[in-house]
Amino acid sequence: MLRRFLAIAVAAASLAGVHGAHAQGGTGWSQSLAVGPMEYAALAAQGAATPDRAMVGNPVATIPARAETSLPDSAPQNNDYTANLASDAFGAQLFTGAFSRDSASIFNPSHVISVGDRIQLRIWNGYNVDTVLTVDAGGNIVLPEVGPFRVQGVTNGNLQAAVGNALRRVFASKVSIYASLLAAQPVRVYVTGAVRRPGMYDGTSSDSVLRYLDQAGGIDPDRGSFLDVTIKRGNQTLEVVNLYDFLLKGDLTSRQLNNGDVIFVQSRKKTVKVSGLAENAKRFEFLGEQARLDQIVRLAKPLPEATNVRVVRNTGTVRNVEYFLISQGNQIDLRNGDEIEFTADKRPGTITVRVEGEHTGPQEYVLPYGSRMGQLLSQVHFTQESDTDSIQLFRQSVRARQKTLLATTLKSLESSVLTARSGTAEEAQLRKEEAALVLQWVERARKIEPSGQTLIAKSTTRNDLLLENGDILRVPVKDGLVLVSGEVLFPNAVAYDKSLDLDDFIQQAGGFSQNADTSRIIIAHRDGSFSDGKKDDAVRAGDEIMVLPKVDFKTRQFAKDVFQILYQVAISAKVVLGL
């Protein structure tokens, strides 16, 4: 009784000082909240003693209940997370510093009040109190006119109702009461095991295990386990956290931590590596000596087009490769170090071919795999203006091959330029200037996209040509124009006149430019064939005349390579690349 009396006396004395301060400062409580009907219902639902309904105060306004923290900024600011981002371990990208930037400061109704938590208490309307109470070692706070009141174990969501219920036993109903968690208990937690920076880290009891792991630089993906993160208190294991559950299902423990708790990351478990057609092409852990393939399938999430899986066995002294249907996953066992690749093993059923140009039929044709050109041409509706003798075929595989050949030639030229030797200082300076020009030209040439055109118009076996998916068939119109481009003064389209020869058409375009090589002229015919203008100067309607530029290099090898590339570009892309 004496202890209770002294506690009440001390509390009353401190409250009197607070009341005096409020009387002088004239501070009002228009933003405070009394115990309302919802809190009353919560108490009743829990079986707690509730005050008479007439004594329950009404809310005046709402104050957002926050658990604010003021902690030392102990999170390491110099953590390097690049290794986590680059790792192929599933879950390594989880730790990039995002969790360690902020502590848990928002209202958490499930937080359980514990020793060290700070609670703000406000009373007004006849009895004024504004104070912060700290939960003592016994789990109590000292309430005015009531004395010690146990709050340890009460959830944050029920704190208002519990404190209000206790104070209503001594205060009149007109007195308004507001109680909220001001700050969760600051704690220091050990993080050790397979993490990048083992140590002791600051936080609050409400902070998640992710924040403490993030402060420690995250789990080391080469050593640590994402399946086995142990939370210890002394010699007792409180919980084992599986971070795969968080990554795949959003499940994460909300256990409160105490000062001195230990987060221990166990060693990495057995692993398999996933590649190919999967959303999560990563390295996965599994518990035990082996795992079923369908277990890894659920983690890796193969893409819809994946049908099969290739398994590379890396155990033992022999490397074996096996091949299964994904649907056989519940029959296939995987072991540590195995590599699996999801593939699409599908038989081609149909292909699509696009027909452009002068015709009246559909633009897209769906044909059975293995169809021939004759089958397609029999379905195309030509017009009177269709030039069926100059039909053009553009193929993706040919385009890729042309691009590869051009890149190889450019690489060879670039290498020869960079490795050329000089005998004198003057020659060295000359080579340096030439090399700069050539390298600039090479960069421009790399941007050229070949057309992938295949010459079929004059082929006697055209109708037997096997079609590929994505082919483009272009039907030219019988026009009467000749295009003149390259090193001429006025590149233009000139009306075809059978009385004009090659030189006449060039003169119609203004004649040669100063940079033109008059001995190197290419005539590109409408059917995809080419001719040397100086050997065969016959020009037909629909042709394109391309005048190549001079190649003025002192080094013969440079000039030879550049000439070769000029011809390649002109033939594969119908572009004259100037120097």
Note the pLDDT tens digit of each residue in 216-248: 999 999 999 999 999 999 999 999 999 999 999
pLDDT at 55 over 50: no
- Show Cβ contacts of residue 242 under 8 Å, excluding neighbours closer than 6 positions: 226, 227, 228, 229
Question: Count of alpha carbons within 13 Å of 432, Cβ hemisphere only?
Answer: 7
Supply the Cα-derived Rg of the chain in whole angstroms.
Answer: 41
* Mean per-residue pLDDT, 195-221: 90
* Mean per-residue pLDDT, 256-278: 93
| Residue 105 pLDDT class (50, 70, 90 cuts) | low
pLDDT at 277 over 90: yes
pLDDT digits (tens, 9 = 90+) for 356-407: 999 998 999 999 999 999 999 999 999 999 988 889 899 999 999 988 988 8
Q: Cβ(179)–Cβ(159) under 8 Å?
A: yes
Q: Can you give the pTM of this predicted structure? A: 0.58
Local structure of 352: helix, strand or coil: strand
pLDDT at 91 over 50: yes
pLDDT digits (tens, 9 = 90+) for 523-540: 988 888 888 888 887 888
The 8-class DSSP code of residue 379 comes to: T
Q: What is the pLDDT of residue 431?
A: 72
Letter string b/e over residues 155-181, b meaning 16 or more CB atoms within 10 A of that residue's CB: bbbbbbbbbbbbbbeebebebbbbbbb
Whole-angstrom Cα distance, residue 150 to residue 342? 59
The 8-class DSSP code of residue 101 comes to: S
Q: What is the pLDDT of residue 555?
A: 60
- 558, amino acid identity: F
- φ and ψ of 300, to 5 deg: -80, -25
Give the domains, in start order, of the chain with CATH numbers: 2-63+112-183 (no CATH), 186-267 (3.10.560.10), 278-343 (no CATH)
* Mean per-residue pLDDT, 120-127: 85
Whole-angstrom Cα distance, residue 185 to residue 112? 11
Q: Cβ(569)–Cβ(522) under 8 Å?
A: no
Local structure of 391: helix, strand or coil: coil
- Show Cβ contacts of residue 17 under 8 Å, excluding neighbours closer than 6 positions: none
Number of helices and strands in the chain (H, E): 12, 27
| Residue 43 pLDDT class (50, 70, 90 cuts) | very low
Q: What is the pLDDT of residue 9?
A: 44
